[in-house]
Structure formats: structure tokens, C-alpha cells
Amino acid sequence: MILGTIMGTVVSTRKCRNLVGFKLLLVEPYYGDKKDIFVAADTIGAGIGELVLVTTDNTTQYALDRSAPVDAYIVGIVDAPPQPGR
């Protein structure tokens, strides 16, 4: 999974009906290249600035109640920035 920081929201009025009901959040990777910002679906209620755990590709489906065309999904809010060695 990827650790990322919530940067903002994405609003899409004309969208696929299977996307309705998801909040779409901009996520900046915590490790690696911070410019590779992506969009993750959220139902947990992550807020701007929070550090989250994102799963990708088809494994998103195992967190959902029904199938949805989302290749990144927020599966957890991280309690504190990780401290290598602990």
C-alpha cells in the first residue's frame, strides 16, 4: 500500500454512475516522488492534511460493499507518521 497525505478534493459532476457516493481525494505520496499526486476514493472520512494508507488496482474491491471503478482507495488513516526502526 502507499502512504499519502490528503491535499484536497476533486469534484466531478459528469461521472460514471458507479462512482456516485464516493468522496474523491487528491493524495500526495509520502515516500518517493511527491509530484506523483493521484486521486483516491474515500468512504472513511479522511480530512485534508491527514496521512492515509491507500490500496491500489483491483485490491480496492475487497474493501467495498459493491464493485466500483476505483483503482485507489483509502483503507486507513495512519495514527502518526512512521518512525523507521519502530
CB of 27 to a copy of itself, least distance (A): 10
CB-count burial class (<10 Å; 0-12, 13-18, 19+) for 4? buried
62 binds a copy of itself (CB under 8 A): yes
CB of 9 to a copy of itself, least distance (A): 6
State which H helix or E strand residue 7 sits in: strand 2-9
Give the residue, chosen from 21, 23, 47, 53, that forms a contact with a copy of itself under the rule CB under 8 A. Answer: 53
23 binds a copy of itself (CB under 8 A): no
Alpha-carbon distance 40 to 58, whole Å? 13
How many residues bind a copy of itself (CB under 8 A)? The answer is: 57
CB distance 25 to 18 below 8 Å: no
76 binds a copy of itself (CB under 8 A): yes
